[in-house]
Structure 1
Amino acid sequence: MGTFYGADVSALRQLGQRIKTSRDTLSRLDATLSQSIEAARQWTGPDGLQFRTDWGSIHRKALAEARTLLGNAERAVLRNADEQESASRAGSPSGTTAAAPGNGAGHVTDGRPDHSVPRFPDRGKPDLSDDQLKELRDKIHAAADSDDFFKGNDADVDDLRKALEGLTPAQLNQLLGTLSDDELKKLGNGLASDGKGVFNWGGTTAFERQAVLDQLLAKASPEQVERIKVQIPWAQPDGIASGDPANPDGGPQAAKGWMTPKGPVISTSQSTLDIRQGGYGDCVVMAGLGALIGQDPNWARDHVTDNGNGTVSVKLNDGGQERWVTVTKDVPADENGNPQGAKGNSGGTWSMYVEKALAQVYNEDNASDPVNPGQLADQRYEPGHYRAIEGNYGTDAMKYLTDGKLTETHDSSDVWKAADAGRPVIIGTKGEAPPGVPDGYVAGHEFFVTGVDDSGKLVLQNPWGPQLDPLHISKEEYESMFGNAVITG
């Protein structure tokens, strides 16, 4: 007799985790095989070429489809677990247990279901003892105190992060309920300090302070999320834009406020159609997302999730280590009340939150971005500014979105091989347009590769949006009209 999961919430969640593990295994298998096939260049001739072509155009797509099916199954299992848990609560004698914020797969946004996989599906109970609460409050006060001349507070920040990671959402909310607004504000100030002391010159990085904020935002109730946002101002990045120098209308402007996008963060399916750059000059970031989602349609589902409590978590890379960065669900608005940055599309608003999370931690801005004539000179912006992610270089941005295995090249043969193998590739254009450029060419801009057409030309898409026709370029055009390419994997 097969195992029955119908009413056993714990077993359902375990099944969901096993499905996720299988999906992750397929992803690793895809990456390993792709690298091995790409490396086997000693297999020359038409058979070898045909095999590599079939791998990129047929077999990898089959693996991607299998991952999609497993992802759908995982979400269905977790949704059923949530529904069973809710039904059990409704039928309990007291009937007073609150549902978890972020019920996960299947919660409804703007009339449409969101297909995010919850990070914390089990809310738990607010069962911390007085002694446990005191110990946690002491850790919060230590992290908030940045005046230790010898040690700083970097170690205290890390100690607090570890303690918060061990809490369920209900316990975290119980702890937040004991903190005054002044205590929250002091914690925010302490986290924002450099964390250094005489015996600690490393200090607290943007990712490390964001790791504490991640635990607070991702697990808190919607009411506490709003409170955190007020008391810790750097929970929101600065929304001012320098604009896109490649776009004649992309000049600098301040955000006119904040708005919460309608529709799900993760819709039914994701694709390159979701890539629509907005008023920020982050074509490298948006082109990178286009290349990644084109290679793996599950990338957004694996890296972005709606927590259901007014926050969205984004998985970024910190020197080879995956880290969650959680941001509130509102984004900078333009003068018309529309998103100032990425626009999203039928696949969801996920790209908006990758953009926002990246602005919170991006530390590669180097004051060398291109500037339109007549504008102020570029300057370096610290993490917490959208302007930090504008301009910059492909390898700098892509290492936050990938495992950091990147190759920078101008050799057309490397680019075509990577495109044939289905690897993510982004390509920059010349700072000034050379003579004879094709329609759709934009100088000082980044495009992403979507494949090679039947005539052997490279197909490039502008991250400004799918409404623009793709470019089809030959190797000769590539060599004369384009700058360096960044290849992932």
Structure 2
Amino acid sequence: MAGIYGADVAQLRALGKELNDASTAMAFAKRVLSAHVQASAAWKGADADNFRRDWNTQHRALLEKVIQDLASAGKVAKANADEQEKTSAVSGSGRAIGGAGQGNSNPDTPAGRADHSIPRHPDQGQADLSHEQLEKLKGLVRDAGVNNDLFEGNDNDVNELRDALADLKPAQLDQFLKTLSDDELTKLAEGSVSDGKGLFNWEGTTPFEKHQLLDQLLSKASPEQVDRLSSLIPWAQPDGQANGDAAAPGGAQGDASNSWLTPDSAVLGERQGKNDIDQGNYGTCVVMSAAGAIINNDPSWAKEHVTDNGNGTVSVKLYDKNGDGQWITVTKDLPAKEDGTLKGAQPTPGGNWPAYVEKALAQVYTDDDANDPEDGQGNPDIARPPGSYRAIEGNYGPDVSAYLTGTQGEQTEDADKLWTAAANGQPIIVTTQSEYPADPPVGYVAGHAFFVVGSKDGYIELQNPWRPTADHIFMSKDDFKSKFSDATIMAK
């Protein structure tokens, strides 16, 4: 007699709805409570001030966690119901369950969404390089790996090799890489990171130039050669340590681990939008706010600037100091916290593309200063060079705008200019004051960056990059003038 295996789908789906409804109800209650706590004029004095501070920094965060956990549990219950229904249907039809490449195909989970990247190298070509062509390429590798030119360094050699590799199809590159020894690749890695400076070449090999070379290697290599290259080129991976977000409840939560994991999630889901921004534990509110403002203005930006190469690497188009777009290719693994979970931007149904924007930016960002808060051990901040996530924590809107759009944004304290830009639909970052002002609007976080998602009836709506469900701020002109620091208006 046939029986029922697994969960009762109807009950499981009903449970998922109940959990989601509870999350929605609690979120509404939190907003109402926040409004009453902030707006109440009847309760004054030190106790009132202390409670409001505790509410803003602790109690609301705990409620938010419960709201998030309920919503997540609801999604999991629904996903399990869908999966059970699918499994029952397949097994009942007599077809095989599972199969190669099926994996988690439930479209309601980030991990189950198919990737929608636009391939950079659709034509694999043929491994048809001649012996002479291979030898010429090997000579370029040797030259780029030795910085012994007194006048020009090896900068020209690095760029010449890069241009030669750009002409190769993936199959040809794989053919060539197989002819190189580990020692030759190690010397190339050392030479191309030596800055290439000579008497007449003060700038040397810039971070963008060396990563253009790495891009030509990683983006087209086979998965086996990607593993080999990333193991032999130390600077292919940035330093993943974090100082953390000083604006977060409880202050910055530093994480000195430098371990990595490859998430089971699509780089690009079917659609991208403002709710793909989920900051994680790095102090990258400006970076994530810039990405959120841009994707809210132009949903096609992610597909045009981020792509999964299908070989264990992801390419991100950033902009150099000349405003020229350059592909930065990184391996697909991402920094992990000490507890083994993802440290940076979190995956969403729209994909995990913001995490790769962070990783690529960390590789080439040269505008870090020494103005971040002290780390967990009380050490003052230092300006970090490219190749460090710490370099992209706590920075300025115009600098980040230049890397993501090719032009520096305009930083302004002019409310009229800000409202005009919002009405025109321009991407905008808005930063708060370093200390909490009197009577902050609901959703306010001191020392933090938000991004504009709309304007109506004289108010501008701001989204917090911490997570899509965090309270939005509805900011008046008076609020901006008295409770916010400035705004960065980016080009459309």
TM-score by length of 2: 0.75
For 2:251 and 2:182, how far apart are their aligned partners in 1? 42
For 1:444 and 1:353, how far apart are their aligned partners in 2? 25
After superposition, the Cα gap between the structure-2 partners of 1:372 and 1:328, relative to the gap in structure 1 and judged at 3 Å, is closer
- The answer to whether the Cα contact below 8 Å between 1:245 and 1:371 also exists between their aligned partners in 2 is no
CA displacement at 1:146 relative to structure 2? 1.4
- The answer to whether the Cα contact below 8 Å between 2:399 and 2:408 also exists between their aligned partners in 1 is no
CA displacement at 1:273 relative to structure 2? 0.8
Aligned pairs for 1:5-404 within 5 A: 111-247=112-248, 248-319=250-321, 320-371=323-374, 375-404=378-407
Which residue identity does 1:466 align to in structure 2?
A: P
- The answer to whether the Cα contact below 8 Å between 1:433 and 1:442 also exists between their aligned partners in 2 is yes
Q: Give the one of 434, 438, 458 matched to 2:437.
A: 434
For 1:136 and 1:212, how far apart are their aligned partners in 2? 13
CA displacement at 1:233 relative to structure 2? 1.0
Residue by residue over 1:288-341, the C-alpha shift from the partner in whole angstroms, topping out at 9 and shown as x without a partner, is 000000001111111000000000000001121000000000001012221101
CA displacement at 1:255 relative to structure 2? 2.7
Partner of 1:469: 471
CA displacement at 1:249 relative to structure 2? 4.5
For 1:442 and 1:298, how far apart are their aligned partners in 2? 30
For 2:198 and 2:184, how far apart are their aligned partners in 1? 22
Residue by residue over 1:253-296, the C-alpha shift from the partner in whole angstroms, topping out at 9 and shown as x without a partner, is 12351111112111110111110111111110000000000001
Partner of 1:444: 447
Which residue identity does 2:311 align to in structure 1?
A: N
For 1:375 and 1:399, how far apart are their aligned partners in 2? 32
CA displacement at 1:444 relative to structure 2? 0.9
Which residue identity does 1:112 align to in structure 2?
A: R
For 1:306 and 1:461, how far apart are their aligned partners in 2? 27
CA displacement at 1:435 relative to structure 2? 1.2
For 2:273 and 2:200, how far apart are their aligned partners in 1? 49
Give the paired residue count. 380
Find the residue that maps to 2:330 and give its secondary structure.
Answer: strand
CA displacement at 1:199 relative to structure 2? 2.3
CA displacement at 1:196 relative to structure 2? 0.2
For 2:449 and 2:177, how far apart are their aligned partners in 1? 44
Find the residue that maps to 1:113 and give its secondary structure.
Answer: coil
Could you list the runs of 4 or more consecutive aligned residues of structure 1 that deviate by over 3 angstroms after TM superposition? Answer: 109-112, 370-374
> Percent of pairs identical after alignment?
53
Which residue identity does 2:302 align to in structure 1?
A: A
Find the residue that maps to 2:219 and give its secondary structure.
Answer: helix
CA displacement at 1:208 relative to structure 2? 0.2
For 2:410 and 2:325, how far apart are their aligned partners in 1? 20
Which residue identity does 1:339 align to in structure 2?
A: L
Which residue identity does 2:484 align to in structure 1?
A: F
TM-score by length of 1: 0.76
Which residue identity does 2:215 align to in structure 1?
A: D
For 2:326 and 2:166, how far apart are their aligned partners in 1? 13
Which residue identity does 1:231 align to in structure 2?
A: L
**Runs (5+) with no aligned partner, structure 1:** 1-108
CA displacement at 1:373 relative to structure 2? 9.1
Rg larger in structure: 2
- The answer to whether the Cα contact below 8 Å between 1:293 and 1:299 also exists between their aligned partners in 2 is yes
For 2:365 and 2:152, how far apart are their aligned partners in 1? 26
Which residue identity does 2:384 align to in structure 1?
A: Y
CA displacement at 1:374 relative to structure 2? 7.1
For 1:115 and 1:392, how far apart are their aligned partners in 2? 31
For 1:425 and 1:111, how far apart are their aligned partners in 2? 32
CA displacement at 1:446 relative to structure 2? 0.5
CA displacement at 1:406 relative to structure 2? 2.1
CA displacement at 1:147 relative to structure 2? 2.8
CA displacement at 1:202 relative to structure 2? 1.8
Which residue identity does 2:385 align to in structure 1?
A: E
Partner of 2:37: none
Find the residue that maps to 2:471 and give its secondary structure.
Answer: coil
CA displacement at 1:245 relative to structure 2? 1.1
- C-alpha RMSD over aligned residues: 1.4
Partner of 1:80: none
Partner of 1:458: 460
Residue by residue over 1:55-99, the C-alpha shift from the partner in whole angstroms, topping out at 9 and shown as x without a partner, is xxxxxxxxxxxxxxxxxxxxxxxxxxxxxxxxxxxxxxxxxxxxx
- The answer to whether the Cα contact below 8 Å between 1:283 and 1:445 also exists between their aligned partners in 2 is yes
After superposition, the Cα gap between the structure-2 partners of 1:374 and 1:180, relative to the gap in structure 1 and judged at 3 Å, is closer
Partner of 1:417: 420
CA displacement at 1:397 relative to structure 2? 1.1
- The answer to whether the Cα contact below 8 Å between 1:257 and 1:333 also exists between their aligned partners in 2 is yes
For 1:163 and 1:137, how far apart are their aligned partners in 2? 11
CA displacement at 1:458 relative to structure 2? 0.9
Which residue identity does 1:318 align to in structure 2?
A: D
Residue by residue over 1:369-409, the C-alpha shift from the partner in whole angstroms, topping out at 9 and shown as x without a partner, is 24479732110110000000000111111110002052111
CA displacement at 1:470 relative to structure 2? 0.2
Partner of 1:64: none
Find the residue that maps to 2:168 and give its secondary structure.
Answer: coil
- The answer to whether the Cα contact below 8 Å between 2:401 and 2:408 also exists between their aligned partners in 1 is no
**Runs (5+) with no aligned partner, structure 2:** 1-109
CA displacement at 1:133 relative to structure 2? 0.5
Find the residue that maps to 1:312 and give its secondary structure.
Answer: strand
CA displacement at 1:471 relative to structure 2? 0.4
CA displacement at 1:149 relative to structure 2? 2.6
For 2:244 and 2:376, how far apart are their aligned partners in 1? 13
After superposition, the Cα gap between the structure-2 partners of 1:211 and 1:331, relative to the gap in structure 1 and judged at 3 Å, is same
- The answer to whether the Cα contact below 8 Å between 2:412 and 2:488 also exists between their aligned partners in 1 is yes
